[in-house]
Amino acid sequence: MARELMHFIGGRTVKGASGRFHDVYNPTTGDVQAKTPLASAAEVRAAVVAAQKVFPEWAAQNPQKRARVMFNFKTLVEKNMDELAKMLSAEHGKVLADSRGDVQRGLEVIEFACGIPHLLKGEYTENAGTGIDVYSMRQPLGVVAGITPFNFPAMIPMWMFGVAVAAGNTFICKPSERDPSVPLRLAELFLEAGAPAGVLNVVNGDKEAVDAILKDPDIKAVSFVGSTAVAEYVYQNGTANGKRVQAMGGAKNHAIIMPDADLDQVVDDLIGAGYGSAGERCMAISVAVPVTDKLGDELVRRLKPRVESLKVAPSTDPDANYGPLVTREHREKVKNYIDMGVKEGAELVVDGRDFRLQGYENGFFLGGSLFDHVKPTMKTYQDEIFGPVLQVVRAKDFDEAAALPTKHSYGNGVAIFTRDGDAAREFASKVQVGMVGINVPIPVPLAYHTFGGWKRSAFGDVNQHGPEGVRFFTKIKTVTARWPKGGVREGASFVIPTMK
């Protein structure tokens, strides 16, 4: 019988009260393994009240004390790494090694947040005017929220709440209803690390919970990662209600392959970046762009046997390249895109639609697929497929290849493979994409830099984690102070102060 999951509000597990639930599947077997409660607006409000109650206490703690909680939390997550990875794989389907990487990349932001005393330092100008000093300080916003996707249920919550709570905010996480167990466990560990009850809350839910977050007047900022359609909805509605919003959407990441590239390395990188985690990554390489037909022919010749030999297996198989997709509905969506590509006239070099794994026929598995001769006018090129599908779009020269990611409506990540430093430098400077890799297939910045795309891959002006994350979750206050000498008065002035 499927177990019933809970919310985590005010430092304790809370049974869902709405009467609505969402099925959590085991993607390997297709069985329902849990029921996620879908919160009502009243339950979201209860989490806001709990977060509000503890905010003054948490914000008033000096940054060193908050940093010590972050250190403790980091240690606890590392101690429980295997448990978290198994929990993640069981609900998402990604292989265990990839699940550990999911947790580890989140931990890197926690490590960054441990430096919050330094990150919150303001600026100071002595004697900006005669006897006048000017200084600034960064202060927390209050109650903030994060709405996180199914594909990184450990990393992205930690990206958000790590910086937010270290800066003195209190946080409400609304994870994906498809795989919510890891965020719930992280909240328990954060309480164990020494955070006061209510600093980190987890409320499961669907659109009703999202709308409640966007409308609640006491939630000051919302961070979101998910599809572009929902990202735009969150941004428009959140900002209309006076909130700060950073909303990261979909992607169509290109890999430009120049004739001088190390093709053996390119093939390895495309296989890993295109098919790892069954392609369910917003930074997956989903389009390969070989420059010249000669290079295109050779690239496809080398890719074909590698795609055909991908080992698709349960997440617990240590030799698996990737596991099942997250749900049956998502698998069917990806298959429909492959059908569409065939109808549009692209050449299906490797067809993974009929893949079946013996003993796991009801699992959500899909073999790797490879398309050649894809055209930019095709809908399958324009849309994000988000599955184990790599498309090859051929270009006659560097300029044509570089124009593809620039013209595309998405602008999350891009990579170029070349030995030519001048070409790489020009590409990195001119391409209209937020994150660029040079001989790096998945250019996700490290925690002390910042993550964010351009165009329809991101809505809002401030990126996630790194210094940008600190700026997003704090407000700046500037103080101008004068300490006049005793007995000296200057009289009234009716002219605006200047530095003249």
Q: Known catalytic residues?
A: 282
**Could you give the CA distance from residue 203 to residue 327 in angstroms, rounded to a whole number?**
21
- Give the C-alpha distances (Å, rounded to integers) separating 92 from 47, 265, 285: 26, 29, 20
- Give the C-alpha distances (Å, rounded to integers) separating 270 from 278, 282, 386, 407, 429: 13, 15, 15, 22, 23
- Determine the 3-state secondary structure of 463 from DSSP: coil
List the one residue out of 380, 434, 439 whose CA is nearest residue 410: 434
Tell me how far apart the terminal alpha carbons of the chain are, to the nearest angstrom: 77
- Can you state the percent helix, strand and coil of the chain, rounding each to 5? 40, 20, 40
Handedness of CA 486, 492, 497, 500 (dihedral sign): negative
β-bridge partners, 336: none
Q: What is the CA radius of gyration of the chain?
A: 25
**Could you give the CA distance from residue 105 to residue 156 in angstroms, rounded to a whole number?**
9
Give 217: exposed, middle or buried? Use CB within 10 Å, 0-12, 13-18, 19+: exposed
- One DSSP character per residue, 144-186 reads EEEE--SS-TTHHHHHHHHHHHHTT-EEEEE--TTS-HHHHHH
